Amino acid sequence: MQQALAMTYLWLKAAHVIFVIFWMAGLFLLPRYFVYHQETAPGSPDNAIWTDREGKVLKIILWPSLVVVWVLGLALAMVTGAFQQGWFHAKLAFVLGLTAYQFWLAGYHQALAQGTRRLTGKRLRLLNEIPGIAAAFIVVFVIVKPF
């Protein structure tokens, strides 16, 4: 029985890491698409093409990955008792931040689709660094468990 639980844990953990990779790929890709999208004229055929591409990234990669990452992550936290550990709280704060970032990206996608360009390409390029910085902190919290 103990071995079966251990194997289940390893499969949950593997699936969680796989879907985190998918999620992060989408979080890196979508803002880059925004940079190119902003250079198109509102209402142009190119604007429609970028809107469609961004919508596919959200629908096919980001939203499903987000759901699976959260479900598997919470399952792992329950199995390991991580809710009582400080490193997990720090990790959770960063994951909540990345989740909020994705919702913001989805809103910006809608704004671009309607022709509103609130940010410069330079600012979008800077925002594209958020997932990488957050991922670095999350990895340190999970591997090193500094508190």
**Residue ranges at the known binding site for heme:** 16, 91
For 83-122, letters b (16+ CB in 10 Å) and e give eeeebbebbbebbeebeebbeebeebbeebbeeebebeee
**Which amino acid makes up residue 78?**
M
Annotated binding site: 16, 91
CB neighbours of 4 closer than 8 A, spacing ≥ 6? none
